[in-house]
Structure 1
Amino acid sequence: MGKVGDLYRQRVADGRIEADPAQLSVLPHLDRVLDDISAAPPPEKRSAWRAFLGVGSPPPVAAPKGLYLWGGVGRGKSMLMDLMAEAATVPARRVHFHEFMQEIQAGLNRARQRGDQDTVRPVALEVAAAVRLLCFDEMQITDIADAMIVGRLFQVLLEQGVVIVTTSNRAPEDLYKHGLNRQLFLPFIALIRQRMEVVCLDSPVDHRQGRASGGQVWFCPADAAAKAAMDAIWSDLTGDAAGEPRRIEVGGRSFTLPLFADGVGRSGFWDLCGKPLGPADYLALSRTVRVLMIDGIPRLSASNYNEAKRFVTLIDALYEAKVRLIASGADQPEQLYNEGEGSFEFERTASRLREMQDADWGQDKG
């Protein structure tokens, strides 16, 4: 595979993307990471069994400097991350940060059950035994559980020679802003600055806006006309099936999707976001459906902050899984959450909701 710059220019030549001066300016930083990895000696390997037990750890190595790429929504960060994973010539993994932290939390639970004193280290060693390059998309820290372990996790990964590249909508200093016990999180920000090159993708263009749209998939306001349109789409997609509840199992528990037929799910907003569901639930949902219909998305604000936060997590899961979304809402995506705590984070969600209205969205799903 060629370098990121080569792949990017090939995509431009093929007409798959449009050249963006801001994106072009960060290509050398991405290629620098790949060059440094290629030049660095590979870390000592252990058997998977010894890695699982967390014993026989190889000595710490100086991992090449990673990259923290941040900027506004729709600027092409995820696309560049895809190209980097494709261009890598070492074992690499590209994963959404939410999904990765769910895997880490599951690993920590297994370590606790084994009675490990240091639960983070064996989990990090398992990861380090499998990859040399970790590409995280959309790093954001909103959960105190993640905030308390991510610094230790990154520290061990870097000690083991894993190179980390991540995208984010925020500068490092704005991660977990105003979070509980944030002073305990500050050393992680210092670690990012020390071990990762911080680069801003400062493009004035939101590439998710202005895309060609197909049939209408977002209806507002969420009134009787919107419901009738949603009903007609349901009938068309399912062959007039009545649908029935679908139980979705997640880690020994379950939740219910109100309607399911032929790969299409349908639910009211409050059924999915008004209940104590989290990333693992929404990831399981995104693996169950190829199309999800959501009725009655309300205006979001501080008064329904928890529900809004769940909605953001739900859209992240659907977006990563390329699930087609059809929904009715109180307003257009950009106008759903205009002020108050959480409105900044919602800018990315609104941009994704707009992109998901594209006619080609999710065509490679299933």
Structure 2
Amino acid sequence: METLSDIYRAKVGAGELTSDAAQLSILPALELISQALMAPEPKRGFFRKAVPVDVPKGLYLWGGVGRGKSMLMDMFVDHLDIPGKRRVHFHAFMQEVHAALHEARKTGVDDAIAPVATDIAKGLKVLAFDEMQITDITDAMIVGRLFDKLHEAGVAIVTTSNRVPDDLYKNGLNRNLFLPFIELIKTRLEVVEIISENDYRQNRLKGEQVWFSPVTADTRATMDAIWHDLTGGKSEPLILTVKGREVEIPGFHNGVARASFFDLCGKFLGAGDYLELAQNARVLLLDNVPRLGRTNFNEAKRFVTLVDSLYEAKVRLIASAAAEPEMLYVEGEGSFEFERTASRLREMQDESWGAE
């Protein structure tokens, strides 16, 4: 049977990947989990009791952004020849859990997590989470018990994160209540750091144009091509929860987000929303930035705040716009102040920007 190492080397040979020693070092751990999950179930005699579920030890793969964690996890999930597998972005999964808990509480059940975990675990052998991070007190209180229930149901967990387990929910409210979950991760998952000097998401854009104007059929096609190159055509909405409100980013995959100017600046969003986006995305594709002025002054102010948030977080911005940065906002109240934003937008186009 073809191994993950075979698949990886074939992709390198086909030019789809660049061989990376750090990525290769992770494959044996994923291969062990893969073999355990695909092993035939023990035969049961007619009069014998059911064999207890033996859950393979999962994996917590952490390291810097753009190191290939999500790519390796996708390769692992695609390689698994079993029906009971699921791959989901952690943030999206927690949104599902909150919705399911809300429905379960309507039934008057004492412990809403138990039926929710049971429903999630039905027919499932492995759950692969991308980009685990805990920033919300509600998530922190739920996730430990939920993972415990899933393990009891025989579900193996594989997850990626930018943080070592000890830094999850760092400095969070009532963090002491979250510490048992960190110990649970260390006990039931093998914690492995991927150490690579390469940031592949940023490197794929080095030397490439990232600002396209004016907006034409050609620039739209180019934005679509970049999106496909960075995400492989895979996408799902990302729902951000900010102070009890939900903010939807229409397209998201492996730290790459895509939205229109209207999605982010035409709605009543603010700095907190943009900061949350910047924490979740490494690259943002922003479509259809219009000319700015007195007719869309509020949208222009939001755009300035968005750019500041992306700039401070070193998020790579790829945009299609009506004009070059210096010509976006040339008259009306706020045009003078926009010069700073235009300067930042120009700086963010440099291929070395954000490399640190």
In the alignment, which of 177, 188, 203 is matched to residue 170 of structure 2? 177
| Partners of 1:355 and 1:160 in 2: CA distance | 45
Q: 1:37 matched to which residue of 2?
A: 37
Q: 1:268 matched to which residue of 2?
A: none
1:141-175 deviation line (CA, Å, top 9, x unaligned): 00111100000000000111101000000000000
SS at match of 1:198: strand
The answer (yes or no) to whether the contact 1:273–1:311 under 8 Å persists in 2 is no
Q: 1:67 matched to which residue of 2?
A: 59
The answer (yes or no) to whether the contact 2:68–2:200 under 8 Å persists in 1 is yes
| Partners of 1:60 and 1:112 in 2: CA distance | 31
Unaligned runs of 5+ in 2: 45-49, 221-239, 290-302, 321-347, 350-356
The answer (yes or no) to whether the contact 2:140–2:169 under 8 Å persists in 1 is yes
What amino acid does structure 2 have at the position aligned with 1:196?
A: L
Q: 2:311 matched to which residue of 1?
A: 336
| Partners of 2:40 and 2:173 in 1: CA distance | 39
| Partners of 2:53 and 2:63 in 1: CA distance | 31
In the alignment, which of 85, 108, 111 is matched to residue 118 of structure 1? 111
1:166-193 deviation line (CA, Å, top 9, x unaligned): 0000000000000000000000000000
In the alignment, which of 273, 278, 286 is matched to residue 312 of structure 1? 278
Percent of pairs identical after alignment? 45
In structure 2, the CA distance between the partners of 1:136 and 1:331, relative to structure 1 (3 Å rule), is closer
| Partners of 2:9 and 2:218 in 1: CA distance | 41
| Partners of 1:213 and 1:294 in 2: CA distance | 24
In structure 2, the CA distance between the partners of 1:169 and 1:273, relative to structure 1 (3 Å rule), is closer
Distance apart, 1:325 and its partner CA = 2.7
Distance apart, 1:113 and its partner CA = 0.7
| Partners of 2:96 and 2:7 in 1: CA distance | 30
1:108-141 deviation line (CA, Å, top 9, x unaligned): 0110011111111111111111321111000000
Q: 2:353 matched to which residue of 1?
A: none
What amino acid does structure 2 have at the position aligned with 1:137?
A: D
In the alignment, which of 120, 127, 139 is matched to residue 134 of structure 1? 127
SS at match of 1:37: helix
In the alignment, which of 71, 83, 99 is matched to residue 79 of structure 1? 71
Distance apart, 1:77 and its partner CA = 0.4
Query: Would you say how many aligned residue pairs link Structure 1 and Structure 2?
Result: 275
In structure 2, the CA distance between the partners of 1:17 and 1:149, relative to structure 1 (3 Å rule), is same
| Partners of 2:149 and 2:258 in 1: CA distance | 39
1:7 aligns with 2:7: yes
Name whichever of 14-23 and 328-337 sits farther off: 328-337
Q: Give the RMSD, CA atoms, in angstroms.
A: 4.0
1:305-336 deviation line (CA, Å, top 9, x unaligned): 623433336748xx7xxx94346768989972
In structure 2, the CA distance between the partners of 1:149 and 1:60, relative to structure 1 (3 Å rule), is farther
The residue correspondences of 1:88-107 to structure 2 (distance < 5 A) are 88-90=80-82, 91-107=84-100
| Partners of 2:200 and 2:219 in 1: CA distance | 29
Name whichever of 327-336 and 137-146 sits farther off: 327-336
| Partners of 1:125 and 1:141 in 2: CA distance | 23
1:333-362 deviation line (CA, Å, top 9, x unaligned): 99721xxxxxxxx46xx26x479999xxxx
Q: 2:180 matched to which residue of 1?
A: 187
What amino acid does structure 2 have at the position aligned with 1:310?
A: E
Distance apart, 1:9 and its partner CA = 1.4
In structure 2, the CA distance between the partners of 1:62 and 1:309, relative to structure 1 (3 Å rule), is farther
SS at match of 1:292: strand
The answer (yes or no) to whether the contact 2:274–2:309 under 8 Å persists in 1 is no
| Partners of 1:333 and 1:32 in 2: CA distance | 44
1:233 aligns with 2:200: no
The answer (yes or no) to whether the contact 1:60–1:160 under 8 Å persists in 2 is no
| Partners of 1:136 and 1:12 in 2: CA distance | 25
SS at match of 1:209: helix
Name whichever of 168-177 and 205-214 sits farther off: 205-214
The answer (yes or no) to whether the contact 1:291–1:324 under 8 Å persists in 2 is yes
| Partners of 1:40 and 1:65 in 2: CA distance | 17
The answer (yes or no) to whether the contact 2:275–2:309 under 8 Å persists in 1 is no
SS at match of 2:196: coil
Question: Which has more radius of gyration?
Answer: 2
Q: 2:26 matched to which residue of 1?
A: 26
| Partners of 1:313 and 1:108 in 2: CA distance | 26
TM-score, scaled relative to structure 2:
0.66
